[in-house]
């Protein structure tokens, strides 16, 4: 029952700040910890020995020792219609979109397909320990309806939106400036703030939206300033050239979104690989979020995201899988690839920084840290339980790990969904499908 008190015992790990800024002071680690949940919210997190005596007599205690208990992971950019596009061979962005993605996305017009993919995606996310994601649906209004319906049924906190695209795509996959506006507006009315669901106004990218559609998006943002905006930018050289050609009067790619009021604190912009100085400045001034999608950027050969530059420019960064350009649903695997991208640029990423990024860091970037991303009292009890020794190779490697940071680095570098023992949504354990 949702209002019951329940407690999880294990090794608690969560963040209260950014380890890149404040080092060791950023995390809380309790070796024999207890996480007390009431009414779906965190009531307390601390030493088991101190908290156990404070619990009501009949409290259910779930013993997860010796596993790690962390806030559920957050994925800041993923495409629901691309679960059967993942692992499509041999193309960079524009060819990949036309040859694979736009073909699969048309299937969401078929009865029941969006429902099937939504169920699959949510199963896969939760199996990977991800409890919140920012999700692109397809152009079809019904795809977003299906996704929100399934997420609401599971009580997961999800951000999603119907894609708007009215050109440079197959006719079956386009809306119009007017229909895209009306359908998005209707979805916002039905879903934004219903239970845990949040809406993202989703013009796919400047290449597939006409100036009229960009203007319609601008109207939506003006009328619904509490909704998110999600789109793509500066991922691939050919994409950038095409976007600039379509909007010759804009200062640069970011300028296109700026001109239509789409660059703000709630704007999540996927990729941001090939950024000019002015674009970084524009992001910083607007408070817009650069979304780093490591496995996708490598798989599509898009380029190397410069996290150090983003930091220097004062731009918020969120981390994401970008399935189906990305190749893993796991935020652990995503961070392992982020580490390699940074290594190629002489930058680094500690295990604490990586685990912060996919929990509190993403929550802060999304402006949701008052709700999710940590174990502070009152936060929603979305939780992942991890076994760092889940595989033979990991157990073997951990024989020589000397401290917590080494153990966590092994978890981030070799870990994935196999390390997920349990996932909780609002304090309720999720039944994960068998592999
Ligand atoms: N740019 C526009 N659409 C997409 C998409 O679906 N995936 C990626 N990676 N980039 C895009
Ligand atoms: Zn994307």
Residues 180, 395 contacting (CB under 8 angstroms): no
Pocket lining: 77 vs ligand 1, CB cutoff 6 Å = no
Nearest ligand, CA of residue 135? Answer: 2
Q: Which residues surround ligand 2, an ion (CB under 5 A)?
A: 270, 322
* pLDDT of amino acid 1: 52
**Cα–Cα separations (whole angstroms), residue 111 to 142, 152, 378:** 10, 20, 40
Question: Which residue's entry shows tokens 């989703």?
Answer: 202
Residues 384, 132 contacting (CB under 8 angstroms): no
Nearest ligand, CA of residue 93? Answer: 1
Kindly give the parts of the chain with pLDDT less than 70. 1-2
> Distance, CA 22 to ligand 1 centroid (Å)?
35
> Distance, CA 181 to ligand 1 centroid (Å)?
21
Reduce the secondary structure of 134-196 to three states and give it as a string: EEECCCCHHHHHHHHHHHHHHCCCCEEECEECCCCCCHHHCCCHHHHHHHHHHHHHHHCCCCC
Q: Which atom of ligand 1 is nearest to the CA of 235?
A: 10
Pocket lining: 100 vs ligand 1, CB cutoff 6 Å = no
Q: Identify the bridge partners of residue 81 per DSSP, sorted by sequence position.
A: none
| Residue ID of nearest Cα to ligand 1 atom 11 | 232
* pLDDT of amino acid 410: 98
Pocket lining: 93 vs ligand 1, CB cutoff 6 Å = yes
Pocket lining: 218 vs ligand 1, CB cutoff 6 Å = no
| Residue ID of nearest Cα to ligand 1 atom 3 | 204
Residue 140: closest CA among 212, 205, 195, 80: 80
Taking the C-alpha atoms of residue 70 and residue 78, their distance in angstroms, rounded to an integer, is 22
| Burial (0-12, 13-18, 19+ Cβ within 10 Å), 230 | buried
Cα 403 to the center of its chain, rounded Å: 29
Pocket lining: 296 vs ligand 1, CB cutoff 6 Å = yes
**Cα–Cα separations (whole angstroms), residue 305 to 33, 267, 274, 302, 362:** 37, 18, 8, 9, 16
Pocket lining: 302 vs ligand 1, CB cutoff 6 Å = no
Residues 117, 81 contacting (CB under 8 angstroms): yes
Nearest ligand, CA of residue 100? Answer: 1
| Residue ID of nearest Cα to ligand 1 atom 8 | 325
Supply the DSSP symbol for 306.
-
Nearest ligand, CA of residue 269? Answer: 2
> Distance, CA 322 to ligand 2 centroid (Å)?
5
Contact residues for 238 (Cβ-Cβ < 8 A; gap 6+): 92, 93, 94
Supply the DSSP symbol for 384.
E
Provide the ipTM: 0.99
SS3 12: strand
Strand order in the sheet with 41-47: 41-47, 27-38, 5-15, 60-71, 383-386, 420-425, 428-429
For ligand 1, mutation pick of 92, 205, 230, 324 (most atoms within 8 Å of CB): 205
For ligand 1, mutation pick of 97, 139, 273 (most atoms within 8 Å of CB): 97
Taking the C-alpha atoms of residue 337 and residue 347, their distance in angstroms, rounded to an integer, is 13
For ligand 1, mutation pick of 134, 165, 203, 204 (most atoms within 8 Å of CB): 204
* pLDDT of amino acid 433: 86
Cα 235 to the center of its chain, rounded Å: 17
Taking the C-alpha atoms of residue 341 and residue 394, their distance in angstroms, rounded to an integer, is 22
Q: What is the pLDDT of residues 206-257, one digit of tens each?
A: 999 999 999 999 999 999 999 999 999 999 999 999 999 999 999 999 999 9
> Distance, CA 140 to ligand 2 centroid (Å)?
17
* pLDDT of amino acid 3: 72
> Distance, CA 232 to ligand 2 centroid (Å)?
6
Q: Which atom of ligand 1 is nearest to the CA of 232?
A: 1
On the CB side of 67, CA atoms within 13 Å amount to 19
> Distance, CA 270 to ligand 2 centroid (Å)?
6
* pLDDT of amino acid 2: 59
């Amino acid at each position: 029952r949702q209002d019951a008190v329940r407690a999880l015992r294990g090794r608690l790990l969560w963040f209260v700040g950014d380890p890149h800024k404040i080092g060791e002071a950023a995390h809380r680690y309790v070796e024999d910890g207890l996480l007390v949940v009431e009414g779906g919210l965190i009531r307390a997190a601390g030493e088991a020995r101190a908290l156990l005596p404070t619990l009501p007599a009949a409290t259910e205690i779930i013993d997860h020792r010796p596993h790690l208990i962390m806030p559920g992971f957050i994925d800041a950019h993923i495409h629901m219609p691309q679960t059967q596009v993942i692992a499509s061979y041999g193309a960079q962005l524009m060819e990949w979109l036309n040859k694979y993605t736009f073909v699969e996305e048309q299937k969401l017009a078929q009865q029941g397909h969006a429902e099937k993919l939504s169920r699959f995606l949510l199963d896969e996310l939760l199996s990977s320990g991800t409890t919140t994601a920012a999700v692109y649906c397809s152009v079809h209004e019904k795809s977003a309806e299906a996704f929100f319906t399934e997420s609401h049924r599971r009580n997961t906190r999800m951000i999603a939106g119907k894609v708007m695209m009215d050109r440079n795509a197959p006719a079956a996959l386009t809306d119009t400036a007017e229909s895209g506006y009306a359908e998005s507006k209707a979805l916002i009315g039905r879903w934004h703030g219903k239970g845990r669901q949040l809406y993202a106004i989703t013009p796919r990218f400047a290449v597939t939206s006409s100036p009229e559609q960009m203007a319609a998006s601008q109207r939506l943002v003006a009328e619904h300033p509490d909704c998110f905006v999600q789109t793509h930018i500066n991922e691939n050289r050919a994409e950038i050239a095409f976007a600039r050609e379509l909007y010759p009067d804009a200062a640069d790619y970011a300028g296109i979104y700026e001109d239509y009021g789409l660059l703000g604190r709630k704007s999540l912009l996927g990729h941001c690989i090939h950024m000019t100085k002015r674009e970084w400045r524009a992001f910083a001034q607007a408070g817009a979020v650069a979304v780093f999608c490591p496995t996708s950027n490598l798989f599509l050969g898009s380029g190397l995201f410069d996290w150090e530059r983003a930091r220097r420019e004062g731009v918020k960064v969120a981390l994401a899988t970008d399935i189906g350009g990305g190749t893993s649903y796991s935020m652990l695997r995503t961070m392992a690839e982020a580490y390699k991208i940074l290594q190629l640029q002489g930058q680094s990423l500690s295990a604490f920084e990586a685990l912060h990024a996919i929990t509190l860091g993403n929550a802060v970037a999304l402006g949701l840290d008052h709700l999710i991303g940590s174990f502070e009292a009152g936060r929603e009890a979305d939780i992942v339980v991890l076994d760092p020794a889940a595989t033979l190779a990991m157990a073997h490697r951990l024989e020589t790990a000397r401290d917590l940071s080494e153990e966590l680095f092994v978890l981030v570098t070799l870990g994935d969904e196999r390390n997920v023992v349990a996932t909780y949504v609002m304090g309720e354990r999720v039944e994960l499908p068998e592999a």
